[in-house]
Structure 1
Amino acid sequence: MNIEQIYTGCLAQGAYYITSNGEAAIIDPLRETSPYIARLNSDQVQLKYIFETHFHADFVSGHLDLSKQTGAKIVYGPNAQPEFDIISAKDEQVFEVGNIKIKVLHTPGHTMESTCYLLIDENGKDHALFSGDTLFIGDVGRPDLAQKSASMTQEELAGILFHSLRNKVMILADDVIVYPAHGAGSACGKNMSKETVSTIGEQKEKNYALRADMTESEFIAEVTDGLLPPPAYFGMNVAMNKKGIPSFSSILNNGLREISVQEFEVLTEDAGALILDTRNNADFAKGFVPQSINIGINGDFAPWVGALIANVNQPIVLVTDLGKEEETVTRLSRVGFDHILGYLKGGFEAWKAAGFEIDTVNRISAAQFEKEVKIGESKVIDIRKETEYQAEHIEDAYSKPLAYINDWVKDINPNEHFFMHCAGGYRSMIAASILQARGYRNFSEIEGGFNAIAKTELPKTDFICQSKVL
């Protein structure tokens, strides 16, 4: 028996590849199937089952392509009703893969079809729990995402989750390994650990939601407290996972179409395409195609695209570093952005060489910011998360998280200059590109963000450990 966690950092997502005696199972696969097919061929095993823990909201699954390519059956737990053929498993139903067994544990609460899979080894011992979004390391699944489809309140769903955890999960032996679907950085929970593997015993000891003396009402109050609005693309991804999607290969072929600089300008106007520039923020600041939105590939790329562009049907044209085109299309497809019309041939340098208009961002160093800003008089906007801001910030700075830019942008006075920063420059350049695309140019973006500002003599609030403000 072999278990491999295939972790994708930019989505904070864990898929699982399991083999035993010539057969394999995959749990919660990402959309592109070639890595799984290559692994199956290398190990000379037959994929028997594709297990889905629930209808994912934060990424598009590769279950359909994988099933077509291998003949493996797709398995969901009770209550799942997608628009394609599946095995709708019963609670406690057992599936055999080689010499091991995988037992279905229906654990509704995060969603009503949410299911954990218990792996029983060759000796009949409970070995590992693939907990999906029911149980994370340090947290549990948020109960507000399925309210509409379940016709329940988040409090009612949280109550169901409480009993799922107590009756199905916490009764397992302490040495059972826990493999969750997500880790820190995912919007599917609010207090997830950076660790991606644990045990039932460790979670009963350290996870706030699994306290032995916790009442149902306490659980509901704590699990629903402090939930941020889910990213706008979540509902669209759920629909795609239920209805079925185009093959990944067709999306990749369309997205890798070369677009000349002459055609690029026409296409953005005629097709209403959004220009997405995925270069690093330092290069973008020095020059870019006007109206481009910068979300760097070397960061939390796909989640920010999903959160800020939101509409997965939005036509997009790409400006990337040379050689990054396929990676960019792949990562966009993982969160359902299938309408990629192609990429600028030769990248930004080709656009510049052709003599077309370029734009820049007014980026200044932290040292220059220190000289120019007047604390108490100048307006400073901190676009980090609220927890980062609460931990430490520049005195008199305003907290305006990037995730809510579509809400606070309308309050900007275009005639009032302001300074803007994040933690390191990645998010503030996203914000700068959005603001300039909407006509705002009355700001200075700070290179290096708060990490650089913290090294100056500017007055800051006292530091508080972020874990204490979650």
Structure 2
Amino acid sequence: MIIKQFEYKPLSHYSYAIISDGKMAVIDPERDVSGYYAFAKANNASITAIIETHPHADFVSSHLEIHKETGATIYNSVKTGADYPHEAFDSGNEIKLGNATLKAINTPGHSPDSITIVASQDDQIALFTGDTIFIGDVGRPDLREKAGNLKAKREELAEMMYDTVTNQFSDLPDHAIIYPAHGAGSLCGKSLSDAASSTLGDERKNSWAFQPQSKETFMNTLLDGQPFIPSYFGYNVAINKAGADNLEPSLESISLVEKTKATGLIVDMRDEATFKKGHLEGSINIQAVSDTSKFETWLGAIVKPQEDFTLVIDTAENKDKLLQRISKIGYEKQLREVITLSTDNLSQTPQLDVEHFKNNLDAYTIVDIRNQSEINEGKIFEKALEHPLNELRDTASDIPVNQPIVVHCAGGYRSAAGSSIVQDILKNATVYDLSEAVKEFQD
């Protein structure tokens, strides 16, 4: 049994392929199918099964596209209420994959319809736990109060997770390898390790969730301090329940032009230094200048589902890569056009005199746009106003404008977006981005 882990770093997402005797199963596939097809071809295997551990909230899955193009059967829990062709895969069900056997265990907690896949062949046992068991943590229980076929309150799901962790893995051996759907950086949990896999024995020893504790203690720990929920999460659950459109046809009609102006919501993906030197008035600077930047997460947190926007890119050569990234969260249908900028009639962002700011903090209105969970752990500036970035488009109008405004986050990436949002909403205010200089004010 050959197991291949695929990683999409911006969303901290892991997907998988299992091959046995020329047959291949794909688990929790990302939107771009090319990696799975290439792996199947390299191993002279045919894709016969696609398995969804649950309807994902943080990315769009390609399960329906793979089914259409290969004829492979899609498997998921009957509780999903999937609208695409599929077969039920719940406790008691199994799939023969060459010489391997894949069994399902219902493991609710992150969602009511979550399953874990137990893959075995000879002495190999692998657990594909989706968003149920992460390395060092378990999936958050608060994403299905408003989305999905089965809705459940966070307290109900936290109680389900306690039962899952306490009972559903008890018959499995310590040497079983755990392969989760996410690693550190994902918003589907709060304390994920950066390890890509573990063993069930190590998690029993080291993960807080497997330690002996009361149900009340477990639930309180799980519910406390979860990160914010981006606005696109419920939207992606709905897409994945229905099955996404094939990717390439979805991107073909999106044009690229050079412009000096645009109307409506504008997202500029260029690096902050270039953006500050010249950008279209009203643009939001969500940077996508590295292959690991959290562009998708912040695009989906700042721009609402089905809200049209124009994308400004740095070079024409990057168009396809950026469209691929936008498609990871299903936002390609909201994209009106992709543009590059001429150098005419562009707005500039003023540069903060950091030394003056250091010595005259009371002369500025300081805005902290970190996540609420970060703010709760301690402020960097005692008098800073709290306006988390995911809420900022709705709350920025409440920021006083009687003195210059300085926007900060924890490291500089998010404040580029935050300061551009504040400048757009408070058009006559003087707005500065503290950027990476925030590190000079931290212990």
**Does TM, scored on the shorter chain, surpass 0.5?**
yes
Distance (Å, rounded) in 2 between the aligned partners of 1:59 and 1:151:
19
2:280 maps to 1:289 = yes
Q: Say which is worse superposed, 134-143 or 398-407, in terms of deviation.
A: 398-407
Say which SS state the counterpart of residue 157 (structure 1) adopts.
helix
State the match for 1:420 in structure 2: 407
Contact 1:302 1:331 (8 Å CA) reproduced: yes
User: How far apart are residue 93 of structure 1 and its match?
Assistant: 1.5
Q: 1:446 aligns with which of 427, 434, 439?
A: 434
State the match for 1:318 in structure 2: 311
State the match for 2:80 in structure 1: 80
Contact 2:270 2:285 (8 Å CA) reproduced: yes
State the match for 1:468 in structure 2: none
User: How far apart are residue 318 of structure 1 and its match?
Assistant: 1.8
Contact 1:83 1:242 (8 Å CA) reproduced: yes
Contact 1:366 1:448 (8 Å CA) reproduced: no
User: How far apart are residue 152 of structure 1 and its match?
Assistant: 3.5
Q: Deviations over 1:38-90 (max 9, x none)?
A: 22222221001111000001111011111111111111023121111101123
Say which SS state the counterpart of residue 165 (structure 1) adopts.
helix
Contact 2:269 2:285 (8 Å CA) reproduced: yes
Letter in structure 2 aligned against 1:247: N
Distance (Å, rounded) in 2 between the aligned partners of 1:178 and 1:365:
50
1:75/1:52 CA distance change after superposition, 3 Å: same
Distance (Å, rounded) in 1 between the aligned partners of 2:381 and 2:275:
26
Q: 1:279 aligns with which of 270, 273, 276?
A: 270
Distance (Å, rounded) in 1 between the aligned partners of 2:383 and 2:151:
43
User: How far apart are residue 387 of structure 1 and its match?
Assistant: 5.4
User: How far apart are residue 102 of structure 1 and its match?
Assistant: 1.1
Alignment of 1:35-434 (within 5 A): 35-121=35-121, 123=122, 125=123, 127-148=125-146, 149-211=149-211, 213-255=212-254, 257-261=255-259, 265=261, 268-269=262-263, 272=264, 274-297=265-288, 298=290, 299-311=293-305, 313-322=306-315, 323-339=317-333, 340-344=335-339, 347-348=340-341, 351-352=342-343, 355=344, 357-364=345-352, 366-367=354-355, 369-370=357-358, 373-386=359-372, 388-389=374-375, 390=377, 393-434=380-421
User: How far apart are residue 338 of structure 1 and its match?
Assistant: 2.1
Letter in structure 2 aligned against 1:134: T
Letter in structure 1 aligned against 2:366: V
Letter in structure 1 aligned against 2:367: I
Q: Say which is worse superposed, 315-324 or 135-144, in terms of deviation.
A: 315-324
In structure 2, list runs of 5 or more residues that go unmatched.
none
Q: Say which is worse superposed, 314-323 or 327-336, in terms of deviation.
A: 314-323
Contact 2:296 2:329 (8 Å CA) reproduced: yes
Distance (Å, rounded) in 2 between the aligned partners of 1:81 and 1:432:
42
User: How far apart are residue 364 of structure 1 and its match?
Assistant: 2.5
Contact 1:423 1:449 (8 Å CA) reproduced: no
The 4+ residue runs of structure 1 with deviation greater than 6 A are: none
Contact 1:50 1:73 (8 Å CA) reproduced: yes
Q: Deviations over 1:325-383 (max 9, x none)?
A: 11111111110102223322xx22xx21xx3x21111233644533xx42455332232
State the match for 1:457 in structure 2: none
Q: Deviations over 1:406-447 (max 9, x none)?
A: 343132112332222223322111012212222343222124
Contact 1:147 1:157 (8 Å CA) reproduced: no
Contact 2:226 2:373 (8 Å CA) reproduced: no
Distance (Å, rounded) in 2 between the aligned partners of 1:185 and 1:226:
15
CA RMSD of aligned residues (A): 2.1
Say which SS state the counterpart of residue 237 (structure 1) adopts.
helix
The sequence identity of aligned pairs, in percent, is 33
Q: Say which is worse superposed, 319-328 or 439-448, in terms of deviation.
A: 439-448
Letter in structure 1 aligned against 2:235: M
2:422 maps to 1:435 = yes
1:107/1:126 CA distance change after superposition, 3 Å: farther
User: How far apart are residue 237 of structure 1 and its match?
Assistant: 0.7
Give the alignment's TM-score, normalised by structure 2: 0.92
In structure 1, list runs of 5 or more residues that go unmatched.
455-459, 464-470
Contact 2:423 2:430 (8 Å CA) reproduced: no
User: How far apart are residue 386 of structure 1 and its match?
Assistant: 4.6
Aligned length: 434
2:10 maps to 1:14 = no
Give the alignment's TM-score, normalised by structure 1: 0.87
1:379/1:306 CA distance change after superposition, 3 Å: same
Say which SS state the counterpart of residue 217 (structure 1) adopts.
helix
Contact 1:277 1:318 (8 Å CA) reproduced: yes
Q: Deviations over 1:166-185 (max 9, x none)?
A: 22124421111111111122
Contact 1:415 1:442 (8 Å CA) reproduced: no
Distance (Å, rounded) in 1 between the aligned partners of 2:410 and 2:21:
49
Contact 1:375 1:396 (8 Å CA) reproduced: no
Distance (Å, rounded) in 1 between the aligned partners of 2:410 and 2:14:
26
Letter in structure 2 aligned against 1:184: A
